[in-house]
Amino acid sequence: MQLTVVGTGYVGLVTGACFAEMGNEVTCVDIDERKIENLKRGILPIYEPGLETIVSGNVSAKRLQFSTSLQDALAASDVYFIAVGTPPNTDGSADLRYVLDVARDIGRYLSHYAIIVDKSTVPVGTAERVREAIAAELQARGVDIPFDVVSNPEFLKEGDAVADFMRPDRVIVGCDSDTARDRMRDLYATFMRNHERLLFMSVRAAEMTKYAANAMLATKISFINEIANLCERLDVDVESVRRGIGSDSRIGYSFIYPGCGYGGSCFPKDVKAIIRMADDCGFEPVVLKAVEARNEQQKQLLFGHIVREYGNDLKGRRFALWGLAFKPGTDDMREASSIVLLNALIAAGARVTAYDPVATQAAHAELPESWFKSGALVLANDQYQALEGADALILVTEWKPFRHPDFERMGRLLKEPRIFDGRNQYDPQRLGEAGFRYTGIGRSNIR
């Protein structure tokens, strides 16, 4: 099939590259000229394991191309994926400006029957707004071209995006037309020959499914964080409790790891957006509001532990920080817990030497340049260099190389053998035996 994917971020680029990998001819369109120029030269705007290989392979095979012109791409294809950002407005609702801009552009240039697929995460009712925006443009042009709008929310995880797309747990398709349903079935059949994981439903149900899934995952995280905070006060190690409840097949182990809060471009904004959707229809979403509130507090937790140890004034202190990305496997720092912690540490007068395996460029984009200029924040070239002379190590992102480090070497490099572990990666008893003082999340050694 000939496909157009609009937006070349985490979702758009992975979608375009993976469809091309399956033999489709794909044009990826973005308004960001620099991004497109770089992509044409083989430079990817994001870090995602395995993506570079399939992008370059499919560009060489001429199945994948990049353009800033939606008009040119529209002439060639008949399925258009909208994969642009839907960032939060100040009131928490999803900003649909980019989605509706693309819809209007499609309406401006459409010349034949097309299927327009919302892949961006959008509130219930958005497909209808996309349909209206396209129809208004067609009417203004005085033409009558049939089209269908489909909801096909994306569930890939940053850090595993290619693998998730190539072998999805399920693909959700919300559509009201037989033609669109058949096309979408054809398109995704290559990813699941037996169609068993391809779920068709109404457009509104598909839109809601995406928010419900992210809200459920965020709820699990905030739930275990709440239990962890209680464990901390009751002299209980939450890691025992986590294993105890995870072994119940009705509960399971996934997404019940206590930590210093969830971040990223999806959970925080999607929880806000579903709360807003509820508010808009006069429904009080008590659980979801608590999920968000718990997470905001959880992001402050590590700083609280540090202040408890060193006091409010951190002038003259320097901390080593491992991990800036919001989770391992990605360079994405949007809404990362590291940002909240850095703001608090630097405001209290501390200096920080941080190390992240891939988020160096993202750090410069996301964090104030003044921090780098003043030396309040320095980026180290490797994880051990960050420790040299620091008062303590703070672990924020559980990258694999941080999981089993050389503790003896760490003890020699740090000013004092002190670790604040925001992801419960280490065994407090073993660290105690190695001479470290240790603070995790919800572990009995804290008080």
Q: Which residues bind ligand NAD (CB under 6 A)?
A: 6-12, 29-32, 35, 83-86, 98, 101-102, 120-121, 154, 156, 158, 265-266
Q: How far apart are CA 131 and CA 107, in angstroms?
A: 9
> Does the annotation list 134 as a binding residue?
no
- Contacts (Cβ under 8 Å, ≥6 apart) of 181: 173, 175, 200
Three-class secondary structure assignment of the chain = CEEEEECCCHHHHHHHHHHHHCCCEEEEECCCHHHHHHHHCCCCCCCCCCHHHHHHHHHHCCCEEEECCHHHHHHHCCEEEECCCCCECCCCCECCHHHHHHHHHHHHHCCCCEEEEECCCCCCCHHHHHHHHHHHHHHHHCCCCCEEEEECCCCCCCCCHHHHHHCCCCEEEECCCHHHHHHHHHHHHCCCCCCCCEEEECHHHHHHHHHHHHHHHHHHHHHHHHHHHHHHHHCCCHHHHHHHHHCCCCCCCCCCCCCCCCCCCCHHHHHHHHHHHHHHCCCCCHHHHHHHHHHHHHCCHHHHHHHHHHCCCCCCCEEEEECCCCCCCCCCCCCCHHHHHHHHHHHCCCEEEEECCCCHHHHHHHCCHHHHHHCCEEECCCCCHHHCCCCEEEECCCCHHHCCCCHHHHHHHCCCCEEEECCCCCCHHHHHHCCCEEECCCCCCCC
CB of 28 to ligand NAD, least distance (A): 9
Q: Pick the closer one to ligand NAD by CB: 11 or 238.
A: 11
Residue labelled with tokens 């430079």 = 43
Q: Pick the closer one to ligand NAD by CB: 99 or 302.
A: 99
> Does the annotation list 145 as a binding residue?
no
Q: Pick the closer one to ligand NAD by CB: 25 or 158.
A: 158
CB of 430 to ligand NAD, least distance (A): 34
Instruction: Verify whether residue 266 is a known catalytic residue.
Output: yes
Q: How far apart are CA 7 and CA 99, in angstroms?
A: 10
CB of 159 to ligand NAD, least distance (A): 9
> Does the annotation list 257 as a binding residue?
yes
> Does the annotation list 47 as a binding residue?
no
CB of 82 to ligand NAD, least distance (A): 9
CB of 156 to ligand NAD, least distance (A): 5
* CA angle (28, 29, 33) in 5-degree steps: 125
CB of 102 to ligand NAD, least distance (A): 5
Q: Please state whether 402 falls in left (phi above 0), alpha (psi between -120 and 50) or beta.
A: alpha
Residue labelled with tokens 């758009």 = 12
Q: How far apart are CA 320 and CA 387, in angstroms?
A: 5
Q: Pick the closer one to ligand NAD by CB: 8 or 298.
A: 8
Residue labelled with tokens 């994926």 = 81
Q: Which residue is nearest to ligand NAD (CB)?
A: 9
Catalytic, out of 175, 260, 266, 281: 266
> Does the annotation list 258 as a binding residue?
yes
> Does the annotation list 210 as a binding residue?
yes
CB of 85 to ligand NAD, least distance (A): 4
Q: Pick the closer one to ligand NAD by CB: 149 or 392.
A: 149
> Does the annotation list 159 as a binding residue?
no
CB of 339 to ligand NAD, least distance (A): 17
> Does the annotation list 105 as a binding residue?
no
Nearest alpha carbon to residue 49 among 150, 156, 151, 138: 156
> Does the annotation list 372 as a binding residue?
no
Q: Pick the closer one to ligand NAD by CB: 85 or 440.
A: 85
> Does the annotation list 408 as a binding residue?
no
State the binding site: 30, 35, 86, 121, 155-158, 210, 255-259, 263, 269, 327, 334
Q: Which residues carry out catalysis?
A: 266
State the binding site for NAD(+): 30, 35, 86, 121, 158, 269, 334
State the binding site for substrate: 155-158, 210, 255-259, 263, 327
